[in-house]
Structure 1
Amino acid sequence: MRDFHLPGRSATFASNGMCATSHPLAAKTAVDILERGGNAMDAAIAGAILLGICEPQMTGIGGDCFALFTKPGSDEIHALNGSGRAPAGADSAALRARGHDTVPLNSPDAVTVPGAIDAFCRLSADHGKLGLDTLLAPAIHYAEAGVPVAPRVAFDWPVAAKALQGHAIGYFTKDGAALKTGDLFRAPGQAEVLRRIAAKGRDGFYTGEVAEDMIAALNAQGGGHTADDFAATECDYTTPVAGDYKGVDLVEHPPNGHGATAILMLNILKHFDISLMDPAGSQRAHIEAEAAKLAYDARNRIIADPDHTTRLEHMLAPETAAKLAALIDPQNAMPAAAPLADAVHRETVYITVVDRDRMAVSLIYSIFHGFGSGIASEKFGVLFQNRGAGFCLTPGHPNEMAGGKRPMHTIIPGMLCENGRATMPFGVMGGAYQPNGHARLVSNLRDFGMDAQTALDAPRSYAEAGKLKVERGYSEAVRAELAGMGHDVIVPEGPIGGGQAIVIRPDGVLEGASDPRKDGCALGY
C-alpha cells in the first residue's frame, strides 16, 4: 500500500469491466461502450481510434497497431499484426545510391502503408459485438467538436511539431505554432474519413477518394505509393511468443514486433539475484542496462518481417541468454551495441480493456516518431506514420528495406499468464524502450512484490545510444555510482515511457493501474 502522506495514485478497482489508457476521454469512451453492451474488443477499438484525436502527436489513422487478446471464457492468447508494408516500389539500393545510410525520417520513403484501419475493421468483424458505426461515433464527435489539449500532449507538441511539413502544418498547428494545454484540437477531415469507414468498412479508407487523397500527397513528395499498395493492405492473425520469469509467463507479439527482446532480457536477468538488490539502486540499474544492450543487439540482428526472421528460436533459447549473461561485468559498463535500425522516438499510445466475461484486449497503436513522417494528405488531413524508418539499408540484412516487407516494429502489447490463466494485459509505451519497460515491470512485480500501480510508478532508467538515461526519481548518489561504473549518465528532459495495466485477480476483481507519466487513467464500472 502506498504512503497516503505523499503524492501518488491509487489503483482502480471494479468488478464488471475496466479500461486503462493514456487519456481520460478514451478511457471513459471505452467504459461507455462496455456499459452499452459492447465487449472488450469493441471498447478497445473505440478508445484507440479516439486516442488519435486526443494524442495526435502519438498516433492516428495513418499508423499501425498490434493486438493480443483472449476470447470470452478462454485463457488462450491470440495475436493480430496490424502493421503495414512498404510500397512495392521500395528499394534500399536506390536509397543507398542517393547517399543514405538510413531511411530518411521525414520523407515518403519512410511511409509504409497504414495498417491499423484494416486491423480495426477485422477485429471488429471477427470479435466485436457492436458495429463500426457505433465504435467510431465518439471519435467522429470529438474530431469535429474538438478535444482540449492535455498537459503531456502539450509537453510533446513543440518538439514533435518540428517534423510537420506542407499540409500537415495547417492541420496540426495553430497558425504555425504548437497547441498548448487547454487549446482545442479539431480534425474535421478525419471525422469525414471515419464516417466513410463506418459506412464502407476498410474500403472507405483503402480505396476511393480517401485513398486517392493519401496517394496524391505521397506522390507529390516523390513517393512511389500506388492504389494497388493501399488496396492490398491486409492484417494477419499470428501466434504469440512467451517466456517464463519466476513463475509468470510473459506473452509477447512475435516479429516483426520486437517483443522477443523483452523475453531475452528477462532470460538474461534470471542469471542475477535481482531480488536481493535495491529496486531503485545502482546495481539493479547497471545489470538491467547491460542486459538491455545485449538483448537489443540481438534484436537488431534478428528481428524483421516474419517472412525474413530465421533465428527467433535462437534468440529465445536459454543457452543464448546464459552466454550473454556471462558477458556482463557486475561493476563495469560495456560499450553500447551499435543500433542498426533504431531511431530515437517516443510516440505511441496503448489501451487495455477487460470486460465482464473476462475477455482481455492489449492493443498498441502508433505513428512512430512525433507526428510520424510529418506528411499529411491535402483534403482529409490524414497524417502518415514513418514506420519505414524501422528498416535498415544494410545489404542482405533480414530487416533490409524492400517492396512489400514489414519493418522491424517497436510497438509491443504484452500480457502475463500464471498457471495457464491470463492475469494481466499491459503495455509500456516509449518507443524502443518498450521491451526494457516490459522487463522492468515484470521484474518489479516478481522480484520486489510490487503491485501493478507501484510497479508503474517506480523510477526508470534506460541504456540507449551510448547514454544511460536515469529519471529524476533516482537519487544523485545512484547517478554518481552509475557514472563510476562507466555509464554516461544523463537525466532525460521527458519521462521514460508510460504504462497501463489491468490485473485480473483470482477473486474476479479487476485492478487497474495507469502511469502518471501520461495524462490517462484506469476507469471501471
Structure 2
Amino acid sequence: MRRFDLPGRSAVIAANGIAATSHPLASATALGVLRERGNAVDAAIAAMATLAVVEPHMTGIGGDSFAIVAEPNGRVHGLNGSGRAAAGAKLDWYIDAGFSEIPQHSAHSVTVPGALRAWEMLHEQFGSIAFERLFADAIAYAEDGCPVASRVAFDWAKEAITLGRDAGARQHYLLNGRTPLAGEKIRLPALAATLRLIAKYGSKALYEGSVAAEIVEVVQARGGFLTEEDLASVRPDWVQPIGANYAGQKVLELPPNGTGMVALILFNLLEILGTRRMPPDSADRYHCEIEAARLAYAVRDTMLGDPDCMSVSVKELTSPAYAERLADKIDPLRRNPDLELPPLPVAHTVYLTVADRDGQVVSLISSISGVFGSQIATPRSGILLHNRGGSFRTEVGHPNAIGPGKRPMHSIIPAMAVEDGKVSVSFGVMGGAFQPMGHAHVFANFADYGMDPQEAIDHGRLFWDDSGSLGFEAGIRAGVLETLELMGHRVHAASTPWGGAQMIVIDHKRGCYIAGSDPWKDGQAIGF
C-alpha cells in the first residue's frame, strides 16, 4: 500500500468499468462511451481516436496499432495492425542508391498505416455501438481546438525546426512557425474533416479515394514508392498471442513482427535468475534486469523481423531452454563487457487499457513511430505519416531487411496476463525500444513485490542510451547507482523518464478493477 504522507496518487478502484490512458481527455472519452453502454472495445477505439488529436506527436490515423482483447468468457484474441512496405520497395534499389539505413524523416520511412483498419476490424468483431459515435470527441477536439497538455507541450517544443521543414507539417502542427505552449489551444480543421469522412464511411475513406491519392502524391513527390494499390490492400491479421510463465501467471504478448517476443525472453531470464528474491530497489535486481535485457535485445537485432522471414521459430526463441543457454552469459555480480549493446530505434507511442462491466478487457497500443512520425503531413487531409519503415535494415539476408510488402520490426507491444484461466492483468509500457524492458520491470513490480498498479508504474526505471550508459530516473536511490557503477555499469541521470505505463488488475474475487496510469505523462486512470 502506498504511503499517504508522501507525494503520489492512489490506484483507481471501480466495479462497473475502468480506463487508463496517457491523456485525461482520452480517459474521459473512454468513460463516456462506457457510461453509454458501449463496451471496452468501443471505449478503447474512441479513446485512441481522441489521442490521435490531443497527442498528435505520438499517434494518429497515419500510424499502426496492435491489440489484445479478452472476452468475458476468457477467450483471448490478438490483432496485428501494422502496415507493410510498398510493393516497390526493393532492397537492391536501396543498396544501389547507397542507403546504409532508412532515413527517419523521409518518404522511404513511410509504410502503409495499419491503425485505422485495425480499429475498424476490432469494432466489426467486438463493437456494440455505432462506429461513427467513436469519433465524436476526436472530431470536436480537432475542429473546435484543444488546450495542449503539459507533457505534450514539453515533447512538442523540441520539434519546431524539423516540423518546419515540411509544408504540411508546418501548416498543421506549428503556430506561426512555433510550437504551442501548455494550455494553448491548437485546432486541426483538416484532420477534423478527414475524421468526419472516416466516421461516416469507415476506413475506406483513408485507404481509397481522394485521401489515399493525396498520401501517395505526397510520398512519391519525395521519392517514396507507396501507391494507391498498397493502401487499398491493407489487411491487419488476427494472431494467436504467445506467452511465458512468470510468477504463477502466463504473460501474453503478440508474436513478431512486434517485440513482444523480446519481453517473453526477458521474463524467462528473470525466472532463471530468481530476481524476485532480490529487494525491489536493489542494485542486484537492476543489474540482473539490465544484463537480461542486453541479451534479449541482442536476439531482437539478429533474429526478429517479418515472421515470414525469420530463420528461427518464435516457439524456440521464447522457450525456457533457450533462456537457460542465454543465462549462462550473465554474471550476477559484474557487467559482462563482451555483450554488444544493440542499437535503439526511436519510437513514440500511446498505450491504453479499458475494461467494462461485463468483463471484456482491451489492451491497445498505437504509434506513428518517431515524434510526429516522418514529420511529413498531407496538406489537404492533415494526416501525419508515420516512419515505421525507418526500423528496416538494408542488409542482405537480415530478417528485417526492407523488401516489397514486408512488415518492419515493431517496437509497440500490448500485453495481458492470465491466472487460473482468467485474465488477471492488462498492461503496457510506452517508450520506443524500452518497451520489453518496461513490461518486465513493471509487471514484476506487481507480481513479485505485491505493488498495486500505481505503485508498480511509479517505481524507478533505468535503461541504456546510444552510448551504453544507463539513464536513471529520479526515483532510484543514489546508493543503488554507486553499486551499479562498481558492478561495471556507467550511469547518468535520464533527460526524460523512460516511457509511460498503464495497467488494470482484474480482481475476480472481489469483483472490481484496480488501475494505474503513469505520472510521467498527462494521463490518468478513471472508472465508475
Partner of 1:220: 221
Note closer, same or farther for the CA distance 1:129–1:442 as it changes in structure 2 (3 Å cut): same
In the alignment, residue 251 of structure 2 is paired with which amino acid?
L
Deviation at 1:338?
4.4
2:144 maps to 1:156: no
Partner of 1:472: 474
Note closer, same or farther for the CA distance 1:53–1:273 as it changes in structure 2 (3 Å cut): same
Partner of 1:316: 318
Note closer, same or farther for the CA distance 1:194–1:77 as it changes in structure 2 (3 Å cut): same
In the alignment, residue 252 of structure 2 is paired with which amino acid?
V
SS of structure 2 residue aligned to 1:380: coil
Partner of 1:202: 203
2:513 maps to 1:510: yes
| Greater CA drift, 304-313 or 169-178 | 304-313
Partner of 1:352: 353
Contact 1:216 1:377 survives alignment (8 Å) = no
SS of structure 2 residue aligned to 1:190: helix
| Greater CA drift, 465-474 or 231-240 | 465-474
Contact 1:70 1:78 survives alignment (8 Å) = yes
Q: Deviations over 1:101-145 (max 9, x none)?
A: 211111011000100011111111221011221111110111111
Measure the CA separation in 2 of the matches of 1:26 and 1:286: 36
Measure the CA separation in 2 of the matches of 1:234 and 1:318: 33
Note closer, same or farther for the CA distance 1:429–1:122 as it changes in structure 2 (3 Å cut): same
Note closer, same or farther for the CA distance 1:162–1:244 as it changes in structure 2 (3 Å cut): farther
Partner of 1:120: 119
Contact 1:467 1:487 survives alignment (8 Å) = yes
Note closer, same or farther for the CA distance 1:210–1:11 as it changes in structure 2 (3 Å cut): same
Deviation at 1:91?
2.0
Partner of 2:268: 267
Measure the CA separation in 2 of the matches of 1:289 and 1:364: 24
Partner of 1:94: 93
Deviation at 1:331?
2.1
Deviation at 1:162?
4.2
Contact 2:294 2:341 survives alignment (8 Å) = no
SS of structure 1 residue aligned to 2:151: helix
Measure the CA separation in 2 of the matches of 1:162 and 1:92: 31
Deviation at 1:161?
4.1
Partner of 1:438: 439
| Greater CA drift, 310-319 or 329-338 | 329-338
In the alignment, residue 10 of structure 1 is paired with which amino acid?
S
Structure 2: gaps (5+ residues): none
| Greater CA drift, 488-497 or 90-99 | 90-99
Deviation at 1:89?
0.8
Measure the CA separation in 1 of the matches of 2:49 and 2:262: 28
Contact 1:423 1:503 survives alignment (8 Å) = yes
Partner of 2:492: 490
SS of structure 1 residue aligned to 2:377: coil
In the alignment, residue 89 of structure 1 is paired with which amino acid?
G
Deviation at 1:76?
1.6
TM-score (norm 1): 0.97
Measure the CA separation in 2 of the matches of 1:224 and 1:168: 20
Q: Deviations over 1:16-48 (max 9, x none)?
A: 001100001100111110111211110000000
In the alignment, residue 196 of structure 1 is paired with which amino acid?
L
Give the 5 Å matches for 1:9-28. 9-28=9-28
Give the 5 Å matches for 1:231-310. 231-310=232-311
Runs of 4+ in 1 over 3 A off after TM superposition: 160-163
Contact 2:412 2:432 survives alignment (8 Å) = yes
Deviation at 1:296?
0.5
Deviation at 1:306?
2.1
In the alignment, residue 393 of structure 2 is paired with which amino acid?
C
Partner of 1:32: 32
Deviation at 1:477?
2.2
Partner of 1:393: 394
In the alignment, residue 204 of structure 2 is paired with which amino acid?
D
Contact 2:101 2:394 survives alignment (8 Å) = yes
CA RMSD of aligned residues (A): 1.3
Note closer, same or farther for the CA distance 1:238–1:516 as it changes in structure 2 (3 Å cut): same
Deviation at 1:486?
1.6
2:483 maps to 1:481: yes
TM-score (norm 2): 0.97
Deviation at 1:183?
1.1
Measure the CA separation in 1 of the matches of 2:159 and 2:83: 22
2:51 maps to 1:48: no
Deviation at 1:57?
0.7
Deviation at 1:515?
1.0
Q: Deviations over 1:484-509 (max 9, x none)?
A: 22212121110011100111102211
In the alignment, residue 189 of structure 1 is paired with which amino acid?
A
Partner of 2:342: 339
Contact 2:346 2:369 survives alignment (8 Å) = no
Contact 1:292 1:463 survives alignment (8 Å) = no
Partner of 2:105: 106
Measure the CA separation in 2 of the matches of 1:30 and 1:289: 35
Q: Deviations over 1:299-347 (max 9, x none)?
A: 112221122234212211111111111111122212453436x4234x1
In the alignment, residue 75 of structure 1 is paired with which amino acid?
G
Measure the CA separation in 2 of the matches of 1:423 and 1:205: 36
Q: Deviations over 1:221-260 (max 9, x none)?
A: 1111111011111111011000001201110011111101
SS of structure 2 residue aligned to 1:363: strand
SS of structure 1 residue aligned to 2:300: helix
- Equivalent pairs counted in the alignment come to 522
Deviation at 1:9?
0.8
Contact 2:150 2:522 survives alignment (8 Å) = yes
Q: Deviations over 1:381-422 (max 9, x none)?
A: 110110001111111111110010000100000001111110
Measure the CA separation in 2 of the matches of 1:442 and 1:5: 25
Measure the CA separation in 2 of the matches of 1:424 and 1:219: 44
Structure 1: gaps (5+ residues): none
Contact 2:160 2:177 survives alignment (8 Å) = no
SS of structure 2 residue aligned to 1:402: coil
In the alignment, residue 472 of structure 1 is paired with which amino acid?
A
Contact 1:514 1:520 survives alignment (8 Å) = yes
Partner of 2:82: 83
Measure the CA separation in 2 of the matches of 1:492 and 1:321: 29
Measure the CA separation in 1 of the matches of 2:430 and 2:33: 24
Deviation at 1:476?
2.1
Measure the CA separation in 2 of the matches of 1:479 and 1:105: 34
